[in-house]
Each structure stands twice: as structure tokens, then as C-alpha cells.
Amino acid sequence: MRRVIGFLLLAIILVGIAFGLGTLPGEISATIGTYSFAASVPIVILAAVILFVVLYAVIRLLGAIFAAPGRFGRGRHQRQVRQGDRAVTRAFAALAAADPKAAKREADRARRLLPQSPMALLISAEAARLSGKPEEAEASYRRLAEQSDSAFLGLRGLLRQALDAGDWTLAADFARRAELAHPGAPWLRAERARLALRTGAWAEALALSGPEAPRAVMATAAADAADDPAQALRLARDAFAADPGLAPAAIAYARRLRDRGEQRKADAVIEKAWTRGPHPDLARFYLDRESDVMARLKAADRLAKCNPEHGESHLIMARTALAAKLTGQARQEAQAAIAAGLDQRRVWVLRADIEEADAAAGGGEAATFAAHEALRRSQTAEPDPRWRCAACSAEQMEWHPSCPVCGTVGQVAWTNATAPATRANPPVITLLPSEAP
Ligand SMILES: [Zn+2]
């Protein structure tokens, strides 16, 4: 309705102007060379308007003719982009459905239609990966990695390829470059932590891991691997602070302190660890520096007093007393160790050694009989504690930060649990030949 009113108003104005022009008096004349021309003012104005309209129409027509190829090209390009976008979407759907054939077909189409698009390059790489063509995927990831906008996507793909191939060194290199391209990505942090564990880069693994990681184990391993003594000391101290009951952590810290001449501090570390969890390696380290048997016995006594009721305390006293030829005290301590719960082969073998020492010192037949009896008992006693992986039950001769068999970190623990009955190879006890039943 408003348009109709507007149109009517315009028509009235135009008619008014035309009427005004039509009533204008006068005449316009012109002479060009031998030609002369004369007309009334309204006719001349009408002719000028018609000429303007015709010229305008001709210019627009010429413009449209010259612009036609460009517009056609633009239209074609837009159509191509639309088709390319559809191919990208379909390729993503095929990738999500794990359909390698469709993914490859649509990815190839997207690459043909959108040759410059990083998105098309990415799905092309993913489709090649899904189709089991790692070389093709790698080529596309590398092209992505060369462009600053898509470098992280390319490096992420290359990192995954290297992980799949088990090339940890190459994977670590890609991870470092990806970190530069997109610092602080949580996914990348987790991958780098896993890689650091696999490559034994303990200090890096420690820095990248969260609080749920076995930090005492990792810090101990990092301290053992560190070349710089100050860094090794700091890492070992952190390990001991994280878990004072972890014997390897305490020994790592005490060893660094001893190397610096801080003997009292080193002793205090071992004593604290003995309070938390006595372990033969702690005692070995503690007594190492004493060469005199009586001095060793005194040191053992100091250590045993930190956890006087524990079987290991009695056992270490029995060993050092025997070395000092104090068989009476040794026998008493060995008996106390058994009474404290260490009814184990190693304690009965020690009992046999004590009786044999007594027999050699003139103890007579009673001592020889007691030695045989102790050896007999050792056959039926509980097995000795071992370093064992809690994840795969594999036994280890020494402590490892990660299980050499299954690779699990922080699961090798000192345990006296018997090996599972299903194991093909039972634990080999080398102390004595087994007695036939
Ligand atoms: Zn294991």
C-alpha cells in the first residue's frame, strides 16, 4: 500500500514537471557549419533526457559484456568450493564411521576441488592412515607441518605415525616441534610424558607428569640418570621426600649426601627409611663404610634400634654378630627374626651357618646336628622376599623404576608373596638344592 502511494506521488510529481516544462516559452536554435537547428525548449529538454537514458543503457550493456567471463569464473569457483566443502564433510563422516574406501574417495575429491585447503590435506592424510598407507599419510602430514597455520595438525599426525612405528626418538622430536607450534596442549603433554617414560628421560617425564604419577620412583630414576651432582642430589631429595619408605629413593639420597661428605645426614636418611620399611639394601648401604666387624656390629645395632621389633632388624643383627664370631648373640637374633615373622629360607640358612660356625669352634655333634636341622627347615620355610612387578608378577634381581618385562612404571616392589601357581617358571632358589619329597 505504501509503495502504491509512493508510486502515485512520483507520477503526480513527474506529470507536474512535464506540464511545467511543456508550458515553458521560447526556442533554442543552434548552427554547426552549414547546418542550423531550431526547436522549442520542451522538445530540446525531452531530447536531452532521451539521449541520456540511451547512453546510460549502452554503457551498462558494454560493462555487462566485458564483466561476463569474470563473473562466470567466480560462479564456477564458488560452486567448486561448495562441492569441496561437501566432500570434506562426507570424508569426515566416513572417517568417523571407519570406512577407509569412502573416506579415501571423498578425501581425493576434496583435494581435487580444494587443492589449497589444509582441511582437505588433513582428511586426505587421515584417510590414507585409515587405509593403511602410512607413506601417503606422512607426505600429507609433512605438507601440513610446513604451513604455519596447520603446523600443529601436521606434527600431531607425524607424532602419531612415529608412535605407531615405535620410533621413540623421532616421536620425541615431533613432540618437541608440536610443543613449539602450540604450547601447552594437554594432549601433547600427556603424549610427551609417555614418550619420556619410554625413552627413559626420567627428569622430563617427572616434569610432565601429574600428581597421580609415581613421583618418588621417577625422581629416583632421574637422580640415577643425572650427570650433574647438584641436580642428582635435588632429585634424590625430592624422591625421598615423596616416599621415605621407598628404599631405592633413600639410598639414592643418602649416597649423594655421602658423596658430599655429609655422613651424618646420610645415616639419618637411612635410619628414617629403616623406621618406615626395613630393607636389606638399606642395611648393606648403612654398614658399607665400616670395615671393622665390631664397628659394623655397633652400626647394625644403631640401625636396628630405629625399628627394634622388626624381623629385618633382628636379621641384620644376627648377620653382623656372626661376622664378629658372636655365635650366641647371632643365634638369639636369628631366632627373634623367625619369631617376628621371617620364617624364611634365608633366615634358616643363616641359622645353619651359625651352627656350623659353632661346630667349627668346637661345638661338637650337637652343633653339627643343629646345622643339619636348620638346613632341613630351610627347605620348607617360606620363600625369600623378592623384587617383583605387581602388574605382571615378573621377579627381578634388583629394583627397576619400570618393569623390564611389561614396562609398567613404579610397580616393582619388595614383596615376599609367593609366585602365582600358574607361572611356567617357578622362582629359582639358589641357596640350597631342593630336597626330594
Ligand atoms: Zn611387569
Q: Which domain does 437 fall in, by range?
A: 387-437
Domain boundary among 33, 49, 79: 79
Quote the ligand 1 centre to 411 CA distance (angstroms). 7
Query: Is position 94 within any domain?
Result: no
Cβ atoms 304, 313 nearer than 8 A: yes
- Cβ atoms of 427 and 383 within 8 Å: the answer is yes
- Examine residue 23 and state whether it is found in any structural domain, yes or no: yes
Q: How far apart are CA 354 and CA 220, in angstroms?
A: 37
- Which residues in 355-366 are b (16+ Cβ under 10 Å) and which e? bbbbbeeebeee
The answer on pLDDT for 33 being more than 90 is no
The total number of structural domains in the chain stands at 2
CA of 412 to the centre of ligand 1 (A): 7
pLDDT in tens, 390-402: 999 999 999 999 9
pLDDT at 347: 96
In angstroms, the CA 282 to CA 252 distance is 10
* Helices 345-358 and 364-380: angle between axes, nearest 10 degrees: 170
Element (H, E) at 39: strand 35-40
Q: Does residue 178 lie in a domain region?
A: no
Rounded average pLDDT over 406-435: 56
Taking a C-beta distance cutoff of 8 angstroms, is the pair 350, 315 a contact? yes
Do the Cβ atoms of 256 and 229 come closer than 8 Å?
yes
Residues whose beta carbons lie less than 5 angstroms from ion ligand 1:
389, 391-392, 394, 403, 405-406, 408
Q: How far is the CA of 396 from the centre of ligand 1 (A)?
A: 9
Report the separation in Å between the CA atom of 215 and the middle of ligand 1, taken as the mean of its atom positions. 18
> In this predicted structure, what is the pLDDT of residue 401?
95
- For residues 187-206, average pLDDT: 86
Rounded distance from Cα 97 to ligand 1 centre (Å): 36
Residue 424, domain member (yes or no): yes
Pairing of strands 412-415, 386-389: antiparallel
CA of 156 to the centre of ligand 1 (A): 30
The pLDDT of residue 5 is 82
Q: Cα of 211 to ligand 1 centre, how many Å?
A: 22
Q: What is the CA(91)–ligand 1 centre distance, in A?
A: 41
136 belongs to a structural domain: no
Q: What separation in Å is there between the alpha carbon of 404 and the centre of ligand 1?
A: 7
The phi and psi torsions of 370 (rounded to 5 degrees) equal -60, -35
Residue 269 lies in a domain: no
- How many contiguous H segments (helices) and E segments (strands) does the chain have? 19, 5
Final residue of a domain: which of 24, 49, 79? 79
Average pLDDT, the chain: 87
Q: What amino acid occupies position 176?
A: R
Rounded distance between C-alpha atoms, residue 242 and residue 223, angstroms: 14
Among 79, 109, 128, the domain boundary falls at: 79
Over 90: is that where the pLDDT of 412 sits?
Answer: yes
Query: Separation of 410 CA from ligand 1 center, angstroms?
Result: 10
CB 88 within 8 A of CB 123: yes
CA distance 304 to 302: 6
* 349 belongs to a structural domain: no
Average pLDDT for 191-212: 86
Q: Is residue 397 part of a domain?
A: yes
The better pLDDT of the pair 21, 337 is held by 337
Distance 293 CA to ligand 1 centre (A): 39
